[in-house]
Structure 1
């Protein structure tokens, strides 16, 4: 029996809901594996601790604005140089700005083109 070849797709979305809608559409195809993840340029999680910017222990601007868990002062300085930390710029011009949700799909190569069409028509960026 001949084994089917698989292909993968990495698609970026602006919201988890948008990616989940596409994932439901892709389930009708022969999907071997699929996941939805949020990614960031900085380590850390969601903001759980409330802190007062005047009296709190703040490591850097990046830890306050991006909730980054930085390991040292140098990393904090580097992170604070990013436009997303200060909001003083419109950010990058690469088209991925605001797309921090990653849909990863592994599927049979015979349905690859159909999957690409579903993703692109639903606002995903490949």
Structure 2
């Protein structure tokens, strides 16, 4: 049979894990959960003093972005999420940085979509 894929966005890893556990009962060929963001970087690994440290950009401090140069630093600092002065994300995607990717049999596609939406996912 043919396979279909689903890209679902969640607000927390727990929500995605909950959906993944339910999806295991279906004929899932492949599944993964990943976190993504607009800027490279990850956990804050090197503590620094913002008063004396060499700071590439405001987004380095607030978003832990790994800035590659002055231009990237300016663009990163211009993002509303860097300053906290955001308008609130009216499109409903705000805070959905967990991606659940599922490849499954076409016959259980609608059932999988229902499980994801009941678990708080947005497709």
Q: Give the alignment's TM-score, normalised by structure 1.
A: 0.94
Partner of 1:101: 98
Contact 1:84 1:91 in 2 (8 A): no
Contact 1:36 1:103 in 2 (8 A): yes
SS of 2:59's equivalent in the other structure is: helix
Match of 1:121 among 113, 118, 121: 118
Q: Are 2:47 and 1:34 aligned?
A: no
Q: Deviations over 1:76-120 (max 9, x none)?
A: 100111110000123432211100000000000000000000000
Q: Deviations over 1:30-82 (max 9, x none)?
A: 00000000000001111111111111111000111111111110011001111
Q: CA RMSD in A?
A: 0.8
**1:43-122 correspondence to structure 2 within 5 Å:** 43-122=40-119
> What 5-or-longer segments of structure 2 have no aligned partner?
none
Whole-Å separation in 2 of the counterparts to 1:50 and 1:86: 20
The ranges of structure 1 where at least 4 consecutive aligned residues each deviate by more than 3 angstroms after the TM superposition are: none
> What 5-or-longer segments of structure 1 have no aligned partner?
none
